[in-house]
Amino acid sequence: MDIGAKVIDIIAEQAILEPDDVTLESTLESLGIDSMGLVESIFAIEEAFDIQIPFNANDPSDGDFNISSVASIISGIEKLVAEKS
Amino acid sequence: MNRVAITGAGSINSLGHSVKETLESMAAGSCGIGELSFRDVDRLDIKIGGQVKDFVPTTVFNRQQLSLYDRVTQFTLIAAKEAIKQSGITFSGELSARSGVVLGTAGGGVSTWDDNYRAVYEEGKNRVHPFVVPKLMNNAAASHVSMEYNLKGPSFTVSTACASSNHAMAQAFQMVRSGLSDVMITGGSESMLCFGGVKAWEGLRVMSKDACRPFSANRNGMVQGEGAAIFVLENFDNARKRGAEILAEVIGYAMSSDASDIVMPSKQGAARAIKGALIDAQLNSEEVQYINAHGTGTAANDKTECAAVADVFGKHADNLMISSTKSMHGHVIGGTGAIELLACIMAVKDGIVAPTIGYEEADPECALDIVPNQSREAKVDVALSNAFAFGGLNAVLAIRSA
């Protein structure tokens, strides 16, 4: 499974949706994921890929990791996975 | 209803090993937050905290005591000794039978849990020390204080996360005010600066890696601390009759529950607790000159708290001072309200308002007089102490100069 599909699975599970309902353009807000859901998603993604995501819940928009859409999250994770290997 | 005096105070925390040292540090705007030092700290992302330094338990307690005293109990006993000594009260007979101890802690003996889980899981041991349970239980500290000072009245531990000690002190206050007890020992303590204690907090992603900067636009989270503060609450008339030094008078409190979210604070819940304390203390809002803020340094708390204060005080919100001493001693979780009450006592007794240090950048959403970076001399007659816990449980205390 590629990174994008796996991330979408994780986000869909958090949003209690089918993966098909999560598009690359979706924002977490539009999927109904609140600040706690976001922290849980970040944790699940870190566990799945064994990576560390730079994320501070005090200011989610701050820092290098862009969470503005599903696409931006996937590209951020692809970068972190590439850096790891 | 009886008036209630504070006739003793004791503390140990990252700013000092006594009330005197703590208040001197607060007045100087010193920072007790620094690099953490304990086993496996290198495996943490968050490596700073307000740790009690230069404390060697074996110089204070003997071997038998240490087999029963978690660090949280050690802190509590040290603070209780200072407070009760200052009050000059010896508990015996009828006074002993009616005096109790109500303390707050969120985690109790966290290091004892941590050490013993490590022993059985990581090190594969199949045997633990016989006193693990009496050492880690949340009421251990309260029980040891009751045993040490012969306190045989109503005694228990309150656990409401970051509001634990405010809830505890409110209970003790109510007991003395109602006449149920003439003297109560109260306050709170916390000691979760160990690998498991910090790792759990890391998970929430609300911790700062560099500093606690409440109300500053560039704040990036909270920093944990540890320690204890203990007070002697006494029937005001009795205290006066026996010529005790009265540090301050406790005049009211209120508690509220947000009933909304397990971690996100609510402006309405906070405002109801603040307003409730004013009503209970029969205060006009203009009489409050200082508020010791909950002020955790997280985005969620600071904005909500400032909005709640603005709602309750209206125009007067711009005239009062509100500071967060967590910037200096860190967030002492279940013990934090007790340590912060010391700043309120300093304000009403000594006329020195503790600052919010680490303040670098104004935040329009926190546009109150937060006493930035330097303490201030001011005549303060009435002070409030806010505590708003995870779980939405709030408790606010009001004190007046004696």
pLDDT in tens, B27-42: 999 999 999 999 999 9
Cβ contact, residue pair A55, B299, below 8 Å: no
pLDDT in tens, A59-81: 877 767 899 999 999 999 999 99
Smallest Cα–Cα separation from B237: which of B170, B176, B184, B174? B176
User: How close is the nearest chain B Cα to the Cα of A52, in Å?
Assistant: 10
CA dist., res. B37 & res. B294, Å (int): 26
Query: Can B306 be counted among the known catalytic residues?
Result: no
Among B162, B194, B212, B366, the active-site one is B162
pLDDT in tens, B175-196: 999 999 999 999 999 999 999 9
Q: What string of DSSP letters covers A12-65?
A: HHHHTS-GGG--TT--TTTTT--HHHHHHHHHHHHHHHT------TT-TTSSS-
pLDDT category at B56 given cuts 50, 70, 90 is: very high
Burial class for B346, CB neighbours closer than 10 Å (0-12, 13-18, 19+): buried
Cβ contact, residue pair A56, B220, below 8 Å: yes
Residue of chain A whose alpha carbon sits nearest to that of B202: A56
Q: Are strands B227-235 and B156-158 parallel, antiparallel or unpaired?
A: unpaired
What pLDDT is stored for residue B384 in this prediction?
Answer: 98
User: How close is the nearest chain A Cα to the Cα of B17, in Å?
Assistant: 32
Which distant-in-sequence residues (6+ apart) come within 8 Å of B391 by Cβ?
A: B160, B161, B262
pLDDT category at A58 given cuts 50, 70, 90 is: confident
Query: Can B331 be counted among the known catalytic residues?
Result: yes
What pLDDT is stored for residue A35 in this prediction?
Answer: 87
pLDDT in tens, B75-85: 999 999 999 99
SS3 label, residue B271:
helix
Question: Is B167 within 8 Å of chain A by CB?
Answer: no
Mutation pick from A46, A56, A61 vs chain B, by most beta carbons of B within 10 Å, is: A56
Between B88 and A54, whose confidence is greater? B88
Residue of chain B whose alpha carbon sits nearest to that of A42: B205
pLDDT category at B378 given cuts 50, 70, 90 is: very high
Give the angle subtended at the CA of B159 by the CAs of B266 and B334, to the nearest 5°: 75
What phi and psi, each to the nearest 5 degrees, are found at residue B390?
A: -55, 145
Q: For the whole model, what pTM was predicted? A: 0.95
What pLDDT is stored for residue A80 in this prediction?
Answer: 94
pLDDT category at A1 given cuts 50, 70, 90 is: low
Question: Is B299 within 8 Å of chain A by CB?
Answer: yes
Among B167, B294, B344, B366, the active-site one is B294
User: How close is the nearest chain B Cα to the Cα of A56, in Å?
Assistant: 5
- Residue A39 and residue A8 in contact, taking contact as beta carbons nearer than 8 Å: no
A32: which 2 tokens? Answer: 């109904």
Report which DSSP code applies to A71: H
Cβ contact, residue pair B220, A35, below 8 Å: no
Cβ contact, residue pair B205, A39, below 8 Å: yes
Question: Is B265 within 8 Å of chain A by CB?
Answer: no
The residues facing B356 across adjacent strands are: B372
**B221: chain A residues, CB-CB within 8 Å:** 56-58
What pLDDT is stored for residue B255 in this prediction?
Answer: 98
What phi and psi, each to the nearest 5 degrees, are found at residue B224?
A: -80, 150
Residue of chain B whose alpha carbon sits nearest to that of A35: B264
Cβ contact, residue pair B204, A58, below 8 Å: no
Mean pLDDT (chain B) is: 97
Cβ contact, residue pair B206, A58, below 8 Å: yes
- Residue A48 and residue A42 in contact, taking contact as beta carbons nearer than 8 Å: no
Question: Is B263 within 8 Å of chain A by CB?
Answer: yes
Q: Count CA atoms within 13 Å of residue A30 on its CB side.
A: 11
- Residue B189 and residue B72 in contact, taking contact as beta carbons nearer than 8 Å: yes
User: Edge-to-edge strands of the sheet including B382-388?
Assistant: B156-158, B100-104, B183-190, B227-235, B4-13, B248-257, B393-400, B382-388, B288-292, B321-323
ipTM, 2 dp: 0.81
Between A65 and B339, whose confidence is greater? B339
**A51: chain B residues, CB-CB within 8 Å:** none
What pLDDT is stored for residue B118 in this prediction?
Answer: 97
What phi and psi, each to the nearest 5 degrees, are found at residue B77?
A: -65, -35
pLDDT in tens, B109-150: 999 999 999 999 999 999 999 999 999 999 999 999 999 999
Query: Which position has the token pair 């994780």?
Result: A10
B242: which 2 tokens? Answer: 């026996």
Mutation pick from B45, B205, B222, B390 vs chain A, by most beta carbons of A within 10 Å, is: B205
Asked if the model's pLDDT at residue B152 lies above 90, the reply is yes
Question: Is B206 within 8 Å of chain A by CB?
Answer: yes
CA dist., res. B334 & res. B163, Å (int): 6
B45: which 2 tokens? Answer: 């992302």
Which distant-in-sequence residues (6+ apart) come within 8 Å of A42 by Cβ?
A: A53, A55, B205
Smallest Cα–Cα separation from B353: which of B323, B331, B381? B323
Residue of chain A whose alpha carbon sits nearest to that of B209: A56
In sign, the C-alpha dihedral spanning A41, A43, A47, A49 is positive
SS3 label, residue B388:
strand
Counting one residue from chain A and one from chain B, the pairs whose CB atoms sit within 8 A come to 29
